[in-house]
Structure 1
Amino acid sequence: MTALPGGRFRMGSDRHYPEEAPAHEVSVGPFAIAQHPVTNAQFAAFVGATDYVTVAERPLRAADYPGVPAARLAPGSMVFRPTRGPVDLRDLSQWWEWMPGASWRKPEGPGSGLRGRKQHPVVHIAHEDAEAYARWRGLRLPTEAEWEYAARGGLDGADYTWGDEAQPGGRRLAHWWLGDFPWRSTRPGGVHGPAPVGSYPPNGYGLFDTAGNVWEWTADWFAPTPGGDAAPSCCGPAEPRGGTEQGSVDPAQPGRPIPRKVVKGGSWLCADEYCRRYRPAARRPQPVDTGMSHIGFRCAADVGGTGSPG
């Protein structure tokens, strides 16, 4: 955990996606935050000590999914699947698949596992899973403002955690999509997925992976735009900060009244032609019950609380 003094900073951005606006001055008090997202090894220690079962591993209740055949109600999670070629980037369903059996233990579904991934960020984590881990450590999830303050690393108002240039000197300073999204990765071996934590340089506060790699849960609710005039974005509706549980339900999905929390930071699936969200101001709404193969979390604490071993 790294202790930060807090203070005033400029949160959000008026230069990028509408859900990030308006940029505005915010104050945060002193707090501490983890240097990197929770890893598979850390989460495994939690599960080993508590026998915790994540949301993605629990049987689904037929009452929660009216009209869905019982045979399809197997536990699972949302897994990224590359397409066979270029597609319409407005249709996310082309590269996301509900995968029975997918969970933090099996990030690509049955047949996959954690071998060689102990230091990768844990994924397929629902919001309550992240909160359960944090409580076990004597910690909590950061607020959206705390997360963004920490991610900026002292560069108030900058586009990226390292400055205003996406690739200074042609160098990538975070883990985001390399290749043609969502079908061709030009990484060695065509690899898709998160990178081990700490694979890229830290920001000005010594924090790793505050841009790209995995989206990270925060403690804050999302809220619909007043008047219902939300503009579409690549990851979800454009909405302002500061919501309530009731107000965070997506009005476009009346049959699925699941509240949503804010996730921050972008992920390995951010692609410049589709989703330039590997920035501290980036934000999106995420249903609290839905883990995905690009969503993880890191913990925070009030000053003086650094948590228990684990």
Structure 2
Amino acid sequence: MSCCKNNRINTDQDMNENTSSMRVIKPGNYHQKGMLQLEGGAFLMGTEDSDANKSDQEGPVRTVQVAPFYIDPIPVTNQQFLEFIEDTNYLTDAERYGWSFVFYNLLSEETAKSVTQKPAHTPWWRVVEGADWTHPEGPDSSIKNRLDHPVVHISWNDAVAYCMWSGKRLLTEAEWEYAARGGLVQKRYPWGDQLTPNGKYMCNIWQGDFPVKNTQEDGYKGTCPVDAFSPNAFGIFSMVGNTWEWCANLFDYELTTSIPQENQPRAIRGGSYLCHESYCNRYRVAARSSNTPDSSSGNLGFRCAKNVPK
């Protein structure tokens, strides 16, 4: 299991009965200015590097064809998601359940005292009541000074609802990896093969001893502004590190006959501020993971795409 993620089936917390939120979103046309058009074409997807996570099906390297598409240069921000909520009164899955996952060392002392549950296999996560997109570390936290950070505690269901409202869609994994590579061929990161070229930090990930001490050498303990680090050659920011990004497709198509469709894991890409080479080196462009569609956490967000009219 990845250190960077957890899912709701690992807990016995039930969903709150308050499900009165508008769950059907009328198609709209919001936040479409500034999208980048990528030409697409054939590229080499996947990896066969020695540190690839074989259980995640990162390989083999294969040629994949991608049609032209539009992509947002940044993941969806708290400010953008706030506008969606104000327009629709939508309740996220985290709000409907009444809780979400938060990394333990981001909690205030008061909130930490109230936590009673943590997953057995990833004990650095906490089940925090009242944690959601507008309260990222629980009820006593706020996004007031983080409107330019990526929105978090977003489920796949929530991401799809936002996409419907904005007139966009989620990226496929092939589109995501094509965009992340920025035209580079089989490089580990969006900028090349070196994680910190000339000692320069290029993304927001964990430094130090995971999960005990984060030295914050990149400048951040949790999320950071979506444009805090340099974009890749396509002009796209924050493709690795910072927050995981939901993709449109299933993680493993072989599961389609054994798991109900509403529970089938969806692919996530990019890693997050919790990734570290000692445990979860999924900030590589070929790395992938998954989560269930209703799961949310303090490092899980999304980015939007749009078809190019034919």
TM superposition score category, shorter chain reference: 0.7 to 0.9
Q: 2:161 aligns to what SS in structure 1?
A: helix
Amino acid of the structure 2 residue aligned with 1:301: K
Deviation of 1:92 after TM superposition, in Å, equals: 4.3
Aligned equivalent of 2:104: 81
User: Per-residue displacement from partner, 1:214-243 (whole Å, max 9, x unpaired)?
Assistant: 0000001011xxxxxxxxxxxxxxxxxx55
Give the Cα separation in 2 of the matches to 1:193 and 1:112.
13
Q: Could you tell me which amino acid in structure 2 is paired with residue 136 of structure 1?
A: W
Where does residue 71 of structure 1 map in the other structure? none
Match of 1:157?
186
Q: Specify which of 60, 72, 77 is matched with residue 34 of structure 1.
A: 72
Over 3 Å counting, the alpha-carbon distance change for 1:273 and 1:179 in structure 2 is: same
Give, in angstroms, the shift of residue 270 of structure 1: 0.5
What's 2:286 paired with? 281
Tell me, in whole angstroms, the C-alpha distance in 1 between the residues paired with 2:309 and 2:242.
Answer: 29
The answer as to 2:68 corresponding to 1:45 is no
1:96 deviates by 0.8
TM-score normalized by structure 1?
0.79
Give the residue type in structure 2 aligned to 1:168.
P
Decide whether the 8 Å contact of 1:222 with 1:247 is kept in 2.
Answer: no
- Do the aligned partners of residues 287 and 25 (structure 1) sit closer, same or farther apart at CA in structure 2, a change above 3 Å counting? same
* Structure 2 Cα separation of the partners of residues 191 and 205 of structure 1: 25
Q: 1:268 to 1:248 in 2, by over 3 A?
A: farther
Give SS of 2:263's match: coil
**C-alpha displacement of 1:187:** 2.1
Contact 1:258 1:287 in 2 (8 A): yes
Moved segments of 4+, more than 6 Å? none
Task: Give unmatched runs, 5+ long, in structure 1.
Answer: 61-74, 84-90, 224-241, 251-256, 306-310
Q: Distance in 2 between matches of 1:27 and 1:285?
A: 23
Q: How many matched pairs?
A: 259
CA shift digits 1:263-292 (9 cap, x unpaired): 001110011211111121110011111011
- Measure the CA separation in 2 of the matches of 1:169 and 1:249: 48
| C-alpha displacement of 1:249 | 7.0
- Residues 57-72 of structure 1 correspond to what in structure 2 (within 5 A)? 57-58=95-96, 60=97
Deviation of 1:304 after TM superposition, in Å, equals: 4.0
Aligned partner of 2:45 in structure 1 is: 11
1:247 to partner: Cα distance: 5.0
What residue is the counterpart of 1:195 in the other structure? 224
Structure 2: stretches of 5+ with no match in the other structure: 1-34, 107-119
Give the 3-state SS of the residue equivalent to 1:32 in structure 2. Answer: strand
1:130-279 superposed matches below 5 A? 130-187=159-216, 192-223=221-252, 242=253, 245-246=256-257, 258-279=263-284
Deviation of the 1:248 alpha carbon: 6.1
RMSD: 2.2
TM superposition shift of 1:258? 2.7
Cα distance in 2 for partners of 1:171, 1:246 equals 46
Give the equivalent residue in structure 2 for 1:232: none
Q: d(CA) in 2 for partners of 1:122 and 1:13?
A: 29
| Separation (CA, whole Å) in 2 of partners of 1:304 and 1:158 | 31
2:122 alignment partner, SS class: helix
CA offset at residue 186 of structure 1?
A: 1.4
Using the TM superposition, give the Cα deviation of residue 246 of structure 1 relative to its aligned residue in structure 2, in angstroms.
Answer: 4.3
Does the 8 Å contact 1:144/1:220 carry over to 2?
A: yes
Higher mean C-alpha displacement, 96-105 vs 179-188: 179-188
Asked if the contact 2:204/2:220 (under 8 Å) is kept, the reply is no
Contact 2:70 2:306 in 1 (8 A): yes
Alpha-carbon distance in structure 2 between the residues aligned to 1:92 and 1:23:
31
TM-score under structure 2 length normalisation: 0.79
